[in-house]
Amino acid sequence: MPYEKTKTINCAIYTRKSTDEGLEMDFNTLDAQREACEAYIASQRGEGWRAIKQKYDDGGFSGGSMERPALKRLMQDIKAGQVDIVVVYKIDRLTRSLMDFAKLVDVFDAHNVTFVSVTQSFNTTTSMGRLTLNVLLSFAQFEREVTGERIRDKIAASKKRGMWMGGVPPLGYKIVDRHLEVQQGEVAQVRNIFKTYLELGAVKELKKMLDKNGIKSPDRISANGNPYGGKPFSRGALYAMLKNPAYIGKVKHKSKVYQGTHEPIIDEATWHEVQNRLDENTQIRTGRLESLYLLRGLLFDVDGTPYSPTHTKKGSLKYRYYISQNLLQFKEHPKGLIARLPAGEVEEVIIINLRKYLARVLAQQVDGASQYLSQNMDKLEGAALVRGLVTRINVGPEEMVLNLDGSRLSEIVRSSLDLTLSGQIQLDKHLTIPYVVKQGRNGSLIINPESKELELFDMPKDELKRLVQGVVWRDRHFNGETLTAIAEDENYSESYVRHSINKSFDTLTKYFQ
C-alpha cells in the first residue's frame, strides 16, 4: 500500500489581553495563552497541524472592538491563504461582540478557515459547533455588558454622593484624592469671569474683554505628564464654565445634579442670575416669539414658590418649561403640586381662557358687540392680554388662578379690535382656570377640560382614511406581522405604514382624551 503524506495544516495562534498591565514580565499572560495553544496544536501533529511562526499578539486591546493591529494582520494573512486554522485559548480572546464574531466567521468561511478554542473545543465548520459558539459568545458579551453597567452604576452612585469621578478639574479647583479642592490662586479669576459676564451680558463680549486683558487658561500638566492650557479661553469653554454647577458646590451626572463634597466658589444668587441671562440670550438669538417666555415672573405655586423659565434639547428640538425654584435649588417639592410646566401648553391655555372670559364680559357690558366679538376675539394678541391684564398666576393641583388688573383693557381692545369702549369695563379680580394633566411625549400636557370637543367624523376624508389605515395596520402589527410585510402587502413604503400607525395613536388621543 503506497504511503500517503499527511497534508500540512497551518495554525495561527491569536492572543489578547485587555490591559497592558504585566506585559513587561518575562512570562506574561500572552505567553501563557500561546503556550497552551502550541501544546494543543502539538497534540494534533498526527493530523498535520503545525503552528506558523508569525505571532498575532494584541496586548492592551479590548475585545469589544475590531481595531486591533494583530487581528488586522491575522485577517490579511487569512485572505492571503496563509492560515487554515485560527487557534485561541478562549473564545473571548478573539472577540467579545456577537456582531463582530459573525463578521469574523463570514471571513473564515469564505477562505475555508476553521476556528478552534483550546479550552472550549469547537469547530466552526459544523452547524452544532457554530450554534454552541454563538451561545457561549453571547454569555461573554453579556458578561462584558454587565461589567460596563456595574462600572456606570458605580460612577453614578459615587457622583450621587458628591464625589469627583475624573476629568479635567474646573478652573478654580484642583484634584486631591478624587476630591475637588479650591485653588485659591484662581478663585478671583473665576469670580471675575462670572461678574464680567453679568456686566457685559454676552459671552462674545466676555471673550473680547478677557483677550484684551491677556487673561488665559492656566498652565497645567495632565496625568500623563503632558502640558496643556495657557491659551485664550474659547467661547465654548466660557459657556461650559458659566453653566458648570461645580461652582456652586454641585456635581452633575448626565441630566441630574447632586450636592458635592467640595466648597463652592460662586454664590447661588449669582449662579442663577447667570443661568437666566444665558437662557435669555439663547432665546433672543433664536428670534422666535414663543421662546420669549410669556409668563416669566408671573407664575407661582400655592406656597408662593416662583417658577422660572428653562428648556431642554433633544437633538435639534427644543422644549420649553417653567420649572419650580424648589427643583432649581434642589429642595423637595410639595406633593400634589406640579414642579415642571410645559411652556407652550400652559401659555396657550391661559390665552384661550382670557379671550373667552373677555368675550363674555365685553358682550355683557358693550351693547351690540356680541356678534362682532365672537368673530374677532382671536385678534386679541396673546402677549398683550397676558402682560397687560395679568399680575400674577397661582398654580394649584387642579386649577390656575389669574389675578387681573383691567386698567389697560380699553387700550388693548382699541389697538387689537379697533373697538372703542365707553366707560370703564369692570373685570373680576380673579379668573379661575381648571385644568387636567396628562402625560405626553414631550412632558406633561396641560389640557383645558372645557375646550370644545371635536367630532371625529368631521375631519377631512383623507385624514379619516389614513386614521382607519393606521388603526388596521396597527392591529396587524400587534398580531405579529412585520411593518415590511404590511408595506409590501398594501403597496406602500414602510415609513408610510410606520408613520400612519404612530399618527393613529396621536389622533385617537386627541379626539377621545
Helix (H, G, I), strand (E, B) or coil at 493: coil
**Distant-in-sequence, close-in-space partners of 74: CB < 8 Å, separation ≥ 6:** 12, 14, 56, 83, 86
C-alpha torsion angle, residues 280, 283, 284, 286 (rounded to 10): 160
Amino acid of residue 284 = I
pLDDT given at position 314: 65
Angle at 423 between CA 418 and CA 425, to 5 degrees: 80
Which pairing describes strands 9-17 and 85-88: parallel, antiparallel, or unpaired?
Answer: parallel
DSSP 216: B
Residues forming beta bridges with residue 228, ordered by sequence position: 220
Which pairing describes strands 180-182 and 399-404: parallel, antiparallel, or unpaired?
Answer: unpaired
Tell me which residue of 64, 73, 51, 48 sits closest to 97, measured CA to CA.
64
Helix, strand, coil fractions of the chain, as percent rounded to 5 = 50, 20, 35
How far is residue 17's CA from residue 497's CA, in Å, rounded to a whole number?
48
Tell me which residue of 128, 126, 79 sits closest to 104, measured CA to CA.
79
Q: What is the pLDDT along the chain (513 residues), one digit of tens a residue?
A: 454 567 889 999 999 988 777 777 777 888 889 998 999 899 888 888 999 989 999 988 888 788 899 999 999 999 999 999 999 988 788 887 766 777 787 788 889 888 888 887 666 656 666 666 666 666 666 666 666 677 666 666 666 665 665 667 888 888 787 778 888 888 888 899 888 888 887 888 888 888 888 888 877 776 666 777 778 888 778 888 888 888 888 877 666 777 778 888 888 888 888 888 777 665 544 434 344 678 888 999 888 888 888 877 766 666 788 888 877 666 676 666 777 888 878 888 888 888 888 878 777 766 655 566 656 666 677 778 888 889 999 988 888 899 998 887 777 777 666 666 666 677 888 898 887 765 544 445 555 555 444 344 445 556 667 777 777 777 677 667 788 888 888 888 888 888 887 777 666 555 444
What are the DSSP calls for 228-248, one per residue? E--SBPPHHHHHHHHT-GGGG
Q: Tell me how many helices (H) and strands (E) the chain has.
A: 17, 20
- Cell digits for 344? 407652550
What is the CATH number assigned to the segment(s) 9-146? 3.40.50.1390
Angle at 261 between CA 256 and CA 263, to 5 degrees: 105
**Distant-in-sequence, close-in-space partners of 351: CB < 8 Å, separation ≥ 6:** 382, 385, 386
**Distant-in-sequence, close-in-space partners of 316: CB < 8 Å, separation ≥ 6:** none
Q: Which stretches of 264-323 are DSSP H helices? A: 268-286
Contact assessment for residue 363 and residue 369, using Cβ atoms and an 8 Å cutoff: yes
- Cell digits for 175? 484634584
pLDDT given at position 456: 47
- In order of 47, 90, 205, the CA distances from 56 in angstroms are 23, 15, 56
How far is residue 325's CA from residue 306's CA, in Å, rounded to a whole number?
6
Helix (H, G, I), strand (E, B) or coil at 368: coil
CATH architecture observed for domain 173-280: Alpha-Beta Complex (3.90)
Domains of the chain, residue spans: 9-146, 173-280, 295-447, 456-512
Which pairing describes strands 180-182 and 173-175: parallel, antiparallel, or unpaired?
Answer: antiparallel
Residues forming beta bridges with residue 17, ordered by sequence position: 59
How far is residue 439's CA from residue 44's CA, in Å, rounded to a whole number?
66
